[in-house]
Amino acid sequence: MWVDLIITLVKIFFILAITVGFFAPVLTWVERKQSALMQDRIGANRADIMGFTALGLFHIIADALKMFTKEDFIPDGANKVLHTIAPIIALVPALLTFAVVPFGGQYTLFDKEVNLVISDLDVGLLFVFAIASLATYGYVIAGWSSNNNWSLLGAMRTASQMISYEVTMGLTIIGVLMVYGTMRLTEIGAAQEDFLRWGFFLQPLGFIMFFTASIAENKRIPFDAPEAESELVAGYFTEYSGIKFGMFFMAEFIEMVTIGALMTILFFGAWHIPFLPTATLLSWFDFLGATGSNIIVMLIQIGVFFGKVVFFIWFQMIVRWTLPRFRYDQIMNLGWKILLPLSLANILVTGLVILALN
């Protein structure tokens, strides 16, 4: 009983540490540095402590200090309560999604089964979608309560865009569910031990569509019409400053990690190394005893999982700094006229193939 509680607490702490503590701040630096490298610039490198710049990593500290010490401004005529809780509503779902996202397989440590997921729900995938769509409320409330035309426009765009692409996202996932026959994310991950049964090979179209839809869900370029700088100042968070703005910012980066994690679990073999089943990996470290080999394999597979996540984050950044923004009507066209029929066709083809194979 106590052991279970401690294990769960350790897992929660690990997830919080790696998302809020590591990915969210470091990604601000990665975003600036990677865009700089892609455009033949140098990027952030001026913040220094005693002459050391550490490749500009101190900018993270500078940014955090700035966020915390800036004036927390609430505009005239704004709804103070909603204006304050909107960023929280936006940030919490982004963090909550990780409750069902597994970051490793099952291991036996000291005769105890350890499942590297905080809550192994049997409707895990549905939970992810349900929670992710909750974030829309945060954005819409933020836009509405700011008493600003730009904010409201951004909020409306956010709402319409997220609704359109959630449909595609949900329908795309049905193909994956048909192939693996489960909604439990740990089982989907475990089913991809064989390299050729990775979701990427079984659902190539689904992979592309899911990736597109999830970038649209995250409102990053090329789907950043809700916060288009050149049109709407900053969209729904125009009137936010200080740590509230930072929360929106953090939500975006944590959602990037979520997308990376979901892509990894659904399409890229989760924590598995290609052509290297867990049993083989365990047998290599047999000399360390049952617990020792399990710990080593656990660390390796957590590393592999987050390596894949980092790859997808890198990929999202490449997309963000390569493509121009879609026009609003183009976003809607792509969502309703191209991706939706394609995802339906994907379901049909998947069903026919499964029927033919049985």
Partner 1 sequence: MAYYVNRNISMTWWERSYIPEILKGMWLTSRRFFYNLFGFLPFFLGTEKERRIFTVYYPEEQVQYPIAYRGRPVLAQNEDGMPACVACGLCEIACPAYCIHIEPAEDSGKQNQYERWPEVFTIDYAICIFCGNCEEACPEEAIFMSDDCEISMLDRKKMLYTKEQLLTPVADLQKRIEFTRNMYAKWNY
- Of 54, 55, 81, 323, the one binding partner 1 (CB under 8 A) is 323
Please state whether 40 falls in left (phi above 0), alpha (psi between -120 and 50) or beta: left
Separation CA 220–CA 316 (nearest Å): 9
Binding mask 188-227 for partner 1 (x = CB under 8 A): --------------------x-------------------
136 vs 212 by CB, closer to partner 1? 212
Q: DSSP letters along 107-153, please?
A: EEETTEEEESSS---TTHHHHHHHHHHHHHHHHHHHHHHTT-HHHHH
96 vs 205 by CB, closer to partner 1? 205
Binding mask 271-310 for partner 1 (x = CB under 8 A): ----------------------------------------
For the record, the structure tokens of 333 come out as 């066209």
67 vs 208 by CB, closer to partner 1? 208
CA 157 to chain centroid: 21
> CB neighbours (10 Å) of residue 356?
7
> CB neighbours (10 Å) of residue 338?
13
Give least dist CB 322 to partner 1, A.
5
149 vs 322 by CB, closer to partner 1? 322
What's the burial of 77, exposed, middle or buried (CB within 10 Å: 0-12/13-18/19+)? exposed
Residue type at position 228: A
- Of 8, 283, 322, 333, the one binding partner 1 (CB under 8 A) is 322
280 vs 322 by CB, closer to partner 1? 322
Is the distance from CB of 171 to CB of 190 less than 8 angstroms?
Answer: no
Give least dist CB 318 to partner 1, A.
5
Binding mask 28-57 for partner 1 (x = CB under 8 A): ------x--xxxxxx--x------------
For the record, the structure tokens of 80 come out as 């103070």
41 vs 66 by CB, closer to partner 1? 41
- Of 129, 200, 311, 321, the one binding partner 1 (CB under 8 A) is 321
Tell me if 26 contacts partner 1 by CB under 8 A: no
Is the distance from CB of 262 to CB of 101 less than 8 angstroms?
Answer: yes
Q: Give how many residues touch partner 1 by CB under 8 A.
A: 14
Separation CA 253–CA 272 (nearest Å): 25
Please state whether 289 falls in left (phi above 0), alpha (psi between -120 and 50) or beta: left
| Measured CA distances, 137 to 97, 219, 292 (Å) | 16, 14, 46
Q: Is-cis flag, bond preceding 222, omega within 30?
A: yes
Give least dist CB 285 to partner 1, A.
33
8 vs 322 by CB, closer to partner 1? 322
Give least dist CB 40 to partner 1, A.
6
Give least dist CB 339 to partner 1, A.
11
Closest by CA to 317, choosing from 220, 248, 237, is: 220
Q: Which stretch binds partner 1 (CB under 8 A): 20-28, 146-154, 247-255, 317-325?
A: 317-325
Separation CA 29–CA 319 (nearest Å): 17
201 vs 315 by CB, closer to partner 1? 315
DSSP 8-state symbol, 52: B
Give least dist CB 42 to partner 1, A.
5
Q: Which of residues 75-114 bind partner 1 (CB under 8 A)?
A: none
- Of 55, 61, 65, 318, the one binding partner 1 (CB under 8 A) is 318
Q: Which residues bind partner 1 (CB under 8 A)?
A: 34, 37-42, 45, 208, 318-319, 321-323
